[in-house]
Every structure is written in structure tokens, then in C-alpha cells.
Amino acid sequence: HAAMLAVCVRNGWDTATYLDPAHPLQQLVGQVVAEAAGEPVAAVGTDGCGAPLMAIGLTGLARAFRSFVLAEPGSAERRVADAMRAHPEYVAGTRRPDTWLMREVPGTLSKMGAEAVQAVALADGRALAFKIDDGAGRALGPVLARALELLGVDAPVVARIGRSPLLGGAAEVGEIRATF
């Protein structure tokens, strides 16, 4: 929100209504999202923080992450990707797979979103995005780890991300695994 407000101040736009989907800032955000995704914004919803949420398909989401990773050095897109990778704890906190991946797999850009959506782009531009159908996050780690394995990412963090124990009381009684 601080960045959105800063853009409003810089452009002389009203700061009281910056969350309105019709606000010039949100129109600009929609244009940037559509351009990065290579597809139009399909719908506009509201995120948990109150900001407009630009809906795009999973292919578009992967394409957007790829575009940020492969952007020209010094471009706005590349500066965002570089900042996320330099400070992953500001993206996801210190105990999350996104942070671990960005710290341990050089050049990776990763972000989990609401309702069990995940997007990742590797330094070479290979990217993926997926959503767990029921919106529960418990399968995110195993699915992400398996996808990274299939992409040839060989790092200890992949096994750590893939571990998702099931507990019965205080005892481990099983685990969630990706089977593709």
C-alpha cells in the first residue's frame, strides 16, 4: 500500500480513493498486469487487504513471473524481481517456502498467493503457476517440490518444501505427496 500511495503522490493522484478500481493507479496496475501476463485482466475482485485484485489465468501468471525474471537489467520489472530476491523475507516472512527458494536457488522468483495459488520463475526463465483446487494450502509444498524436481532443480530446499506431514493428535500418521 505504501508503494501504491507513493505512486499516487508522485503522479498527483487522489490518495483517498486509491483502492477504487476506477482510480488511475488501479487502471495502471491493470495495464501492467495485462502486459506482463500477455493477456487481458479477466475480472477485478478485492484482495483481503482491500486492494483491487486483477484476475488472470495461470499461464498468464507464469508468463508474468517469467517476464520479471528475464527483464532487462535496470528496468522497473527487473528491479522488482531483484528486490524480491534480495529481500525474500519481505515477500513471505522467514519461515515460508518462497523465502527459502529465493535464498537457496539463485535467481528464483517465488510467491504464494491467496487460495493456494503459487507462481515460480527460475533464473533461466522457466516458469510455472498452479492452484490447488480446494484452496487449501496443505498440498502447495508437495506439488511445488514435485514440479521443481521435474524441472531439474537439485537443491536441499526442494525436499524440505515437499515434506507435508499429516498429524493425528500429536503423532505423525502420514504425509501429503504429489503423485504426478
Please give the pLDDT value at position 168. Answer: 95
For residue 159 the three cell numbers come to 525436499
CB 58 within 8 A of CB 131: yes
pTM: 0.91
Beta strands at 43-46 and 52-55: parallel, antiparallel or unpaired: antiparallel
Q: How many other C-beta atoms lie within 10 A of the C-beta of residue 99?
A: 19
Give residue 165's region: left, alpha or beta (phi > 0; psi -120 to 50). beta
For residue 92 the three cell numbers come to 513471505
CB 107 within 8 A of CB 125: no
Please give the pLDDT value at position 114. Answer: 87
C-alpha neighbours within 13 Å on the C-beta side of residue 173:
6
Please give the pLDDT value at position 12. Answer: 98
CB 17 within 8 A of CB 23: yes
Helix axis angle, 97-104 to 140-150, nearest 10°:
30
Q: Which phi and psi (to 5°) does residue 130 adopt?
A: -150, 165
**pLDDT tens digits for range 21-54:** 999 999 999 999 999 999 999 999 998 889 999 9
Please give the pLDDT value at position 118. Answer: 98
Please give the pLDDT value at position 6. Answer: 98
Low-confidence stretches of the chain (pLDDT < 70) are none
